[in-house]
Structure 1
Amino acid sequence: MKLDAYKLGVATAIVLAIIWVICSVLVLALPALMMQMGGHMLHADLGAAQWTLHWPGFIIGLILWSLLGGLMVWAVAAVYNRLVG
């Protein structure tokens, strides 16, 4: 079965954009809890760190995470399609 690499990449970009927005809202609403969760995910003590979330950073992060994630999944699907012949 072949995958439509373009559609899979676009779908991934959309889902990552939604996740980015949800995560950013959580950082704004619950900064201490999100910092603690980030520390647990990184196996680090981020107690002294602070969040800095501004509109340009939000927009740039949204675009980059969505674009790079979509491109990566597009590439995986393209390679998969070549492997299955």
Structure 2
Amino acid sequence: MKINAFKFGIACAITASVFWIICSVLVMAMPSMMMSMSGDMVHMRLDDIGWHLTWAGVVKGLVAWFVIVGGAGWLLASIYNRLQ
């Protein structure tokens, strides 16, 4: 079965974008709780670090993740199709 690499890449990019937006909203709504959770996820104490989240940063991150994950999804599907 062949995968449409372009559509798969777009689906990955949209999925990553949705997760980025949800994460950004959670950081804005509950910054200390999200800092604690982030520290737990990377096995570090992040108590002395603070969030520096701006709307411009949210948009830049959204675009960056869209492009990076979309490209990675396209590459993954392309390699998968060549292995068939």
What TM-score range do you get, normalising by the shorter chain? over 0.9
- Structure 1 unaligned spans of 5+: none
Task: Give 4+ residue runs of structure 1 displaced > 2 Å after superposition.
Answer: none
Partner residue in 1 for 2:63 = 63
* TM-score, length-scaled by structure 1: 0.96
* TM-score, length-scaled by structure 2: 0.97
TM-superposed CA distance for 1:66, in Å, is: 1.2
Deviation per residue, 1:23-78 (Å, 9 max, x gap): 00000000001000000111100011100111111111000011100100100100
Percent identical pairs in the alignment equals 45
Q: CA RMSD in A?
A: 0.6
Amino acid at match of 1:40: D
Partner residue in 1 for 2:72 = 72
Q: How many residues align?
A: 84
Distance 1:66 1:49 in 2: 26
Partner residue in 1 for 2:7 = 7
- Structure 2 unaligned spans of 5+: none
